[in-house]
Structure 1
Amino acid sequence: MTFAAHWKFSLLFTFLCLISSGCSNTPGDQPDLGTVTGTVTMDEKPLAGVMVVFSPESGRSSMGTTDDAGKYELIYVGDTKGAKIGTHTISITTVQNDNSEEEGGAGAAPFKETVPAKYNTKSTLTEEVKAGENVFDFQLTSK
């Protein structure tokens, strides 16, 4: 291999290494995460269609929506599952569907929260997310 060919090959290899190091599936500033799953019930019955939000002391929140069985799995961002490791305040709230066009537009009834404020706007729920798998079940009461 001539000096010029060797130099071109080295330059190409260096360029490809630099490009590939910047193309990962997770951001370089993403914190360590733990996976979080669980079940939400209200008065001992599965609570479907509610948003479960874990908010850390600082940084991005994680959220998930319960299915018909009341089960949820938190998403950190995009397709990345989990929540930041550390202490979180939990908020559980009814998912607001945007049916304003179907319900008559601007004259539609205002959104009604079906989960008591003690679990969302006035929440005192907290959990500690650790590395690995975390399962947090929430047994809510309507009173």
Structure 2
Amino acid sequence: MSRFYSWSAAGFCLVVLFACQGCFGGSGVPLADVEGVVTKDGKPVAAATVVFNPSEGRPSSGTTDEKGTFHLQFTEDYDGAVLGTHNVTISLPGNSAPTGPVASGTRPQRPKGSGIEEFKWPEPVTVEKSGNQFTFDL
């Protein structure tokens, strides 16, 4: 009986180990890499903030470089965005940057006269398992 018990305990431990495999090594949600370019009047826009807000779940954001290129981050440790449909908001730089976390889903109101322009992309975009390259021409 004790031999059966030791095998049962070992089997149970293996099942728990495999069941928790995704608990510690990943974000816990299906993510995909997302990159793209932001232009305005055909010219790259530097220092723009791009936010992908999914219909369910946490938003992802990124900032454009001097070529207008961005890469989204889900959290500080994980790149990408949640699979599915997203509304996109692009904030162009102004005299003062907004404060507050993007992850909360809401931002504080922008100061008047800040010079920040905010564009809501007119159509939702879909993040799929691969091939997520977007161009936003404002």
TM interval, short-chain normalised: 0.5 to 0.7
Q: Does 1:60 align with 2:62?
A: no
- Structure 2 matches for 1:1-143, cutoff 5 A? 25-28=25-28, 30=29, 32-95=30-93, 96=97, 110=112, 112-114=114-116, 116-117=117-118, 119-120=119-120, 123-140=121-138
Measured in 1, the distance between the counterparts of 2:44 and 2:27 equals 35
Deviation of the 1:87 alpha carbon: 0.9
Which is greater in Rg?
1
CA distance in 1, matches of 2:98, 2:89: 18
Q: What is the aligned residue count? A: 122
Partners of 2:20 and 2:42 in 1: CA distance:
48
Identity %: 32
TM superposition score normalised by structure 1: 0.65
Extract unaligned runs of 5+ from structure 2.
1-8, 100-110
CA deviation vs aligned residue, 1:83-109 (integer Å, no higher than 9, x gap): 1111110000035177xxxxxxxxxx8
List structure 1 runs of 4+ shifted beyond 2 angstroms: 17-25, 109-114
Structure 1: 5+ residue stretches without partners: 1-10, 99-108
CA distance in 2 between partners of 1:41 and 1:67 (Å): 11
